[in-house]
Amino acid sequence: MSTTATDLMALSRVIPVVVLDDADDAVPLARALLAGGVPIMELTLRTPVALEAIARVTEQVPDMLVGAGTITRPEQATMAVTAGARFLVSPGSPEPLVTAMLAERVPVLPGVATATEALALLRHGITEMKFFPAGPAGGPSYLEALAGPLPGVTFCPTGGVNHGNAADYLALPNVACVGGSWLTPPTLVKGGYWDEISRLCFGTWSEEAQD
């Protein structure tokens, strides 16, 4: 059975958004997240090693659902899936980019910041979306306002979401998960403090912890 966008948004209340400068960190980081109960990660295409990092995680940590984030050009969708990305995330949703992402036949979370952009994605049958940049775009109150006119849309807010405000987003009925980098701080990743990353993840963002 293939994974859908709904499935991946249900895997974890937080999707770690990861920027790596060294591909050698990818596999131990993926294993640390898994050990902490987080089976999904978004590796952003913001550095030259990103595609190699995705390929290594896909090959060596098959239990980790690894996706590619910061998809900004249509050709990156193909490059990411060829490397092994199992889902695609973009900061925005121009028509050529959305078409290219959908053509790869993997779950997608295109970015929106307005109701107009969300309506455009609905025309493609896309009901799961990244809300970015969540904080500057209006935060929880803005997303709460969208729930009425867009009852079939589910969001993953990213950008300005952190440990202190994540619960405010997760309390909304139209938010399934949030994206953030606080589970994988660069200082811990570069220092190889994998056990500490597992501790940051473990139990904190389970469904039970939010009840």
Answer positive or negative: Cα dihedral of 133, 30, 76, 5: negative
Active site residue 190: no
- Distance separating alpha carbons of residues 143 and 73, to the nearest angstrom: 27
Active site residue 130: yes
- Distance separating alpha carbons of residues 32 and 62, to the nearest angstrom: 14
Of the candidates 42, 95, 128, 196, the residue annotated as catalytic is 42
Of the candidates 59, 95, 130, 208, the residue annotated as catalytic is 130
* Catalytic residue numbers, as ranges: 42, 130
